[in-house]
């Protein structure tokens, strides 16, 4: 497809379970970002990948959160032992990289609900 895609679109899980969220960026975009948006709040940066550089993990809220990216394509965000406060919309974005952050193109998000 032409845009950023994310799956699943919705995920309901029980507290304590692990979840995996997937992002397919736009082809050719070397930069990939994960954000989350909790209810009534803004977009919160989680992690950033750029090419083969070490990812910027400074936004990950705890060691239960991790993400991987295969080359310059698919990325997965994993949340272990989910908690109710993890409930949010998780957004992925990709962009070109011209030496600095450029306009990001967002996917539709995955709505995670932890019961």
Partner 1 sequence: DQQVKQNSPSLSVQEGRISILNCDYTNSMFDYFLWYKKYPAEGPTFLISISSIKDKNEDGRFTVFLNKSAKHLSLHIVPSQPGDSAVYFCAASATGNQFYFGTGTSLTVIP
Q: How many CB atoms lie within 10 A of CB 66?
A: 14
Pick from 62, 101, 113, 115: which binds partner 1 (CB under 8 A)?
Answer: 101
Q: What's the min distance (Å) between Cβ of 115 and partner 1?
A: 21
Q: Which of 48, 65, 75, 82 binds partner 1 (CB under 8 A)?
A: 48
Give the residue with the Cβ less far from partner 1, 80 or 104. Answer: 104
In 10 A of CB 59, how many CB atoms? 15
Cα distances (angstroms) measured from residue 56 to each of 31, 67, 112: 11, 11, 23
The closest alpha carbon to 28, from 93, 94, 75, belongs to 94
Element (H, E) at 95: strand 88-95
The answer to whether residue 25 forms part of the interface with partner 1 (CB under 8 A) is: no
Residue 103 makes contact with partner 1 by CB under 8 A: yes
- Contact flag: residue 52 with partner 1 (CB under 8 A): no
Chain residues that interact with partner 1, rule: CB under 8 A: 4, 33, 35, 40-45, 48, 50, 56, 58-59, 91, 93, 100-101, 103-109
């Amino acid at each position: 497809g032409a845009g950023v895609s994310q799956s699943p679109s919705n995920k309901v899980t029980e507290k304590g379970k692990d979840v995996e969220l997937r992002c397919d960026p736009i082809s050719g975009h070397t930069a990939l970002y994960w954000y989350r948006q909790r209810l009534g709040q803004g977009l919160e940066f989680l992690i950033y990948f750029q090419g083969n550089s070490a990812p910027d993990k400074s936004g990950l809220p705890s060691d239960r959160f991790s993400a991987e990216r295969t080359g310059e394509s698919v990325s997965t965000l994993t949340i272990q032992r989910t908690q109710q406060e993890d409930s949010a919309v998780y957004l992925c974005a990709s962009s070109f990289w011209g030496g600095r952050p450029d306009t990001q193109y967002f996917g539709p998000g995955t709505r995670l609900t932890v019961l």
